[in-house]
Amino acid sequence: MKHVVFNGNDNYAPHIATSLVSLLRYNRNLHIHIVANGITAESEQKIRTLFIGRSDCILESHQINDQQIKALIKLRTKDQVDFTFFGPLLLTEILSDKIKKVVALDADTIVCANIDELFEIKVELVGGVIDTLEKFHRQAVGMTDEGHYINTGCLVINLANWRRDNVLQQMVDYVIAQKGNVPHLDQQVVNAVLKEKLTVLPPKWNVLTPMFLFSSKKITSFYELKHYYSDTELIEAIQQPRIIHYTPGIVGRPWMKNCQHPRTTDYLQARQKSGFPLVQAEDDRTKNARRLEQIYQTFGEWGYFTTLRVINLLKPERTYSS
């Protein structure tokens, strides 16, 4: 069986269910693991209903709480932290030693095809899609210009090698060295610790919002990426995505009012079958994010990237400590 992992608390349960609807539509013989940090019995029952008639699939819930997560990763912070995000880092502690490889998906993803091919990709430790983040994010985790900072919305994880190399301990050591200051949560930790051993996946396995909006040249230039996907790869990804990841951005997200994401319908159709009615939330983006959207709609790419560059020049290190 192929092992797929989701991670979340009760706030994420509707999105997990929605992603599962799409995953089950195209795939068979799955062992689904949900690392559940506070998912209620009612929500779990709704999710289990999705598996009625699917004897080829197994759903397993792994209950864990904030205190357990905090103890395992030695997090020290006064900030409000959603410990749920650290669940994927603890899979070697949570899952059976018999499980050698998993695909870990964020709750805000929609699966658009069969993913058997994803399990066939060889990775030393972890594989992911290159993220679209400014250079200072890469520098903050000690990554050179040759490095690839990956997005953790879809990961192929070689758990056998994680255990062999004691990756969890390496991650704990990093968090301690940062004095618990890891504002970009699991993504920061994965990239900082495994930066020399990351496997880059084709973009079709985690199509991020900027990929739908901007060309390869524009992304490469603005984010100062020495290596990125070609326009051909991006066009294939957006025309035939395997997994869509609704990352925050200038077009909003499908469960929010006034969303302009070009693949909103994919999410809404799956949500209708999830057992969780959709009550569209207010736009929870920051005021600056909403202003950037207005700038993008009015002035296009040039206005958006120019404004974003000015913001980053003014406060590039605001999310990291030295």
Write down the domain spans for the chain: 2-285
CATH class of this structure's domain 2-285:
alpha beta
Residue 297 CB neighbours (<10 A): 13
d(CA 228, CA 230): 7
Positive or negative: CA dihedral 282, 64, 46, 104: positive
**What is residue 176's predicted lDDT score, i.e. its pLDDT?**
81
d(CA 135, CA 133): 7
d(CA 267, CA 260): 13
Please name the residue ranges forming H helices in 178-259.
185-194, 209-213, 216-222, 231-239
**What is residue 322's predicted lDDT score, i.e. its pLDDT?**
28
| Per-residue pLDDT of the chain in tens (322 residues, 90 and over written 9) | 999 999 989 999 999 999 999 999 999 999 999 998 889 999 999 999 999 999 999 999 998 877 776 666 655 555 545 566 677 788 998 999 999 999 999 999 999 999 999 999 999 999 999 999 888 888 889 888 888 999 999 999 999 999 999 999 898 888 888 877 777 888 999 999 999 899 999 999 999 999 999 999 999 998 889 999 999 999 999 999 999 999 988 888 999 988 999 999 999 999 999 999 998 887 777 777 788 888 888 888 888 888 877 776 666 554 443 2
Kind plus residue range of the DSSP H or E element containing 243: strand 243-245
DSSP character string of 126-159: EEEEEP---HHHHHHTT--TT--PEEEEEEEEEH
Question: Cα 56 to the chain's mean position, in Å?
Answer: 26
**What is residue 321's predicted lDDT score, i.e. its pLDDT?**
35
